Amino acid sequence: MNIASRASWTKLAAGVAVLALLEGCSTTSSTATSDQDRRRAALLSVAMECAERQKASLRIDGVDDDGRVRVTILPGSQPDVPAFTACYKQKAPVIMAAAERAASPAQIVESGTRRTSVAIQIIQNRFLVPVVLNGTHRATFLLDTGANITVVTPQLSRRAGIEMPAGAGASRSKARMASGQEVEVALVRLKSIMVGSARIDNLQVAVYEIGVLDSTAMPPLAIDGFLGADFLGRFTMTVDPQAGTLMLQLGDGPVK
pLDDT in tens, 215-253: 676 677 789 999 988 899 999 999 999 999 999 999 754
28-51 mean pLDDT: 72
Give the pLDDT band of residue 7 (cuts 50, 70, 90): very low
Classified as helix, coil or strand, 2 is: coil
Q: What is the pLDDT of residue 23?
A: 37
Backbone angles phi, psi at 170, to 5 degrees: -75, 140
Give the number of other CB atoms < 10 A from CB of residue 90: 12
pLDDT at 255: 42
Question: Contact, 20 vs 173, CB < 8 A?
Answer: yes
Exposure b/e, 196-226, CB count within 10 A at least 16 = b: bbbbbbbbbbbbbebeebeeeeeeebebbbb
Residue 168 pLDDT greater than 60, yes or no: no
pLDDT in tens, 174-190: 666 555 567 788 888 89
Average pLDDT estimate for 53-60: 77
How high is the pLDDT of residue 80?
Answer: 81
Q: Please give the Cα distance from 134 to 42 (Å, whole number).
A: 28
pLDDT at residue 165, as a whole number: 64
Which of the two residues, 174 and 75, has the higher pLDDT score?
A: 75
Tell me what percent of the residues of the chain surpass a pLDDT of 70: 74
CB contact at 8 A, 95 and 106: no
Tell me which amino acid residue 129 is: V
The mean pLDDT value for 36-46 works out to: 81
